Structure 1
Amino acid sequence: MATTTAADLLDQAAGGGAPTAETDGDAFASKLTREADIIIGVYLILIGTGSTLGNGRVLWLSYRNWKKLRPVELLVASLAVTDVGISLFGYPFAATSSLLGRWSFGTAGCTWYGFTGFFFGITSIATMALMSLLRFMIVYKGYPGSYPSRRKTGIIVAAGWLYGLFWACLPLAGWSQYHVEPFGLSCTVDWGSFSRDANGMSFILCMIIFCTAVPVAAMVASYAAIFYIYRRAKKGVDRHLKNNAVMSQKRREVERSITLMALAVCGGFLFAWMPYAVVGMWSAVAGADAVPIALASAAPLFAKSSSLWNPIIYLGMSDRFRLNMCGCFVTPTQSQTAVHAHPQQPGAPLPLSPRGPLVSNLPTAVGPLPGGLQATNIQ
């Protein structure tokens, strides 16, 4: 009785919630083959486990070196929290349902899964957009004093989370709803409401604009401007650097690393999420039946892999993170070089640098890399 009551209350809050078997056919049954269900379940278990371990390690390093973190690195920790959150509060539901061959948590569970996925997803997008804007402002000002305070950065972090919470609560308040996805194994915002009524159409349009187009535009514009500044710095004509040959040289030394890190962070995000956005818009305009079921299931599954990508990027571009994450990722030469470059006190944890676990030994005058991270010199 208690479970039914909770489900009814949550269903009412969602404005009807996801369809039930009685009102919309067996919407919670998988539309895929049994083999595909099992493959998806195993895939989600692997992605969720890898994301939890990788991002959990980022959070552990941040916690152990909390007082040494630069303010901008709080955004990195915030991003790791969103990835761990969706891995712990979302993926287990979808993985279990996939292995069982149907969504197994009812209407209330569907609403919960849709809410958590949308909440952590939009918070992650907003955080990455704020990272890119903050990175641009630091590079544009071009001097160490341009770093924001921890208090201001905390406000920025809170803004990203509040933005995600705001959008995730709208379907619960009756503006559209959370709905089972076409393949029947997970739930998300009701893309199909776009073609059914003005309520759904207005929500989907606003979501596309403010949760996809605006953050992506902010990231692309910020990183494009950063690359432009560094190109001018390389030619010795940038007005912020022309009277500071030392800073100009330092910037030239890390230009390639900055470019690679920016492309990895921004490009990886877009690569993972854009197929899902395109498929969602296709489904909204043409109807769910117009999208091949294989594509309708593959796009959101690929987007879920984004929670695992950031730790992989850190592993690939930071020797210090590899040393902390797993010694087997570092050759003996790299390990000796890193230890001699940053000697530690006996028994002390080995952070990624003396300034904090997510910063390299590059000169601080150039500011952190895109996304608040410093990369080691890449030859």
Structure 2
Amino acid sequence: MAAYPLPEGFSDFDMITFGLALLVEGLLGFCLNSVAGLSFLLVKDQRTPSNFLVFNLNIADLMLNINALIAAYASYVRVWPFGIEGCHMHGFLGSIAIYATIPLLALIARDKYHYWCTQEQLSWSTSGMRCASVWVAAVFWAALPLPVIGWGEFNFEPMGNCCCLDYTKGDWGYISYMLAVTVIYLLTPMMIMHNSYAAINTYFKKTHSFKFNTYLPETVLLATWGPFALLCFYAAVENVTLVSPWFRMVIPVWAKSGPIFHAVIYSFTNETYRGAIWKMLKGGQNPDKSKMS
């Protein structure tokens, strides 16, 4: 480890701290989303069209967990060991995970709206088509910054332990790509989530029965990815390299905590999912309803 020079602006303690944070995020998120995903595959009653949306969210979050674990390893060895091609692939796969996760959050919100407000049931054909569309679009938009196309660009983050969209250039290619994905993958999903949960909240007020916190999903999305979006916007108008590398590293590391919150909100605090997880862990026995309240 000592043979490699430390990245500019970082101490050995910083490398250990960020690496440990990424390791904890990656392992915890991987365990939680793996258990939730396995419950969908192994518990027959769990396999519904609505839960299929959550299952796809588990898969997308698992991809981001693996992304974090690779970054944690690179922090430990103090150098990116996979070359520039590995950097491009790391950024590509991480972008697929992000571009799949956020639309899936919007689809889940819309499904909840129909369940509570219109009593419409999601069909398997609709659920499958929507999930397939999400993944195809995610691969398409994540591939655009690859060298073969070159709209935007993947490059190392300040600590050199992981790769993402290069926001340091601030050229027109970066600005146009960033604006496009912001509209498609942040503003539009946020609008869908806000409208859906606002309608559900109104329904809960009318029935005087609040089944879940309708503000939490939007809050978590904004809290985890909002700071990174602001950093990208700032890079479009100012020289972001003047911002402390340490601060620019904290933001993406924090964003990678999203899969942990998603697993808790959409799986472990969801009564149906929680019951199936408990059933799976008990070897197929029926969950104790009295313990689920």
Q: Aligned match of 2:251 in 296, 299, 303?
A: 299
Deviation track 1:165-200 (CA, whole Å, cap 9, x = no partner) reads 12101112221111112332221012234x32x322
Match of 1:185 in 2: 161
- The amino acid across from 1:257 in the alignment is K
Check the 8 A contact 1:29/1:185 in 2, yes or no: no
Distance apart, 1:267 and its partner CA: 2.0
| Residue correspondence of structure 1 range 183-332 to structure 2 within 5 A | 183-193=159-169, 195-196=170-171, 198-231=172-205, 233-234=206-207, 252=208, 255-258=209-212, 260=213, 262-313=214-265, 314-316=267-269, 318=271, 320=275, 323=278
- Alignment partner of 1:257: what SS? coil
Paired with 1:82 and 1:40, the residues of 2 have a C-alpha distance of: 23
Q: Aligned match of 1:99 in 59, 76, 79?
A: 76
Deviation track 1:316-363 (CA, whole Å, cap 9, x = no partner) reads 564636745879xxxxxxxxxxxxxxxxxxx6344698xxxxxxx9xx
Match of 1:18 in 2: none
Check the 8 A contact 2:9/2:246 in 1, yes or no: no
Higher-Rg structure is 1
- Alignment partner of 1:74: what SS? helix
Alpha carbons of structure 1 residues 177 and 350: separation in structure 2 relative to 1, 3 Å: farther
Alpha carbons of structure 1 residues 99 and 154: separation in structure 2 relative to 1, 3 Å: same
- Structure with the greater relative contact order (CA < 8 A, sep ≥ 6): 1 or 2? 2
Paired with 1:348 and 1:100, the residues of 2 have a C-alpha distance of: 42
Paired with 2:263 and 2:219, the residues of 1 have a C-alpha distance of: 15
Paired with 2:136 and 2:45, the residues of 1 have a C-alpha distance of: 25
Distance apart, 1:112 and its partner CA: 0.8
Check the 8 A contact 2:96/2:138 in 1, yes or no: yes
- The amino acid across from 1:256 in the alignment is F
Check the 8 A contact 1:123/1:160 in 2, yes or no: yes
Distance apart, 1:202 and its partner CA: 1.1
Paired with 1:126 and 1:53, the residues of 2 have a C-alpha distance of: 23
Paired with 1:352 and 1:171, the residues of 2 have a C-alpha distance of: 50
TM-score by length of 1: 0.68
Check the 8 A contact 1:126/1:163 in 2, yes or no: no
Match of 2:135 in 1: 161
CA RMSD between the two structures: 2.7
Q: Aligned match of 2:47 in 69, 77, 82?
A: 69
Match of 2:97 in 1: 120
| Residue correspondence of structure 1 range 137-152 to structure 2 within 5 A | 137-142=114-119, 146-152=120-126
Distance apart, 1:68 and its partner CA: 4.4
Deviation track 1:13-64 (CA, whole Å, cap 9, x = no partner) reads xxxxxxxxxxxxx999454111010111122111111111111101111111
- Alignment partner of 1:182: what SS? coil
Query: Matched residue pairs, number?
Result: 284
1:79 aligns with 2:34: no
Check the 8 A contact 1:27/1:180 in 2, yes or no: no
- The amino acid across from 2:87 in the alignment is C
TM-score by length of 2: 0.87
Paired with 1:225 and 1:133, the residues of 2 have a C-alpha distance of: 10
Paired with 1:323 and 1:57, the residues of 2 have a C-alpha distance of: 10
Distance apart, 1:67 and its partner CA: 5.4
**Runs of at least 5 residues in structure 2 that lack an aligned partner in the other structure:** none
Check the 8 A contact 1:40/1:95 in 2, yes or no: yes
Paired with 1:153 and 1:270, the residues of 2 have a C-alpha distance of: 25
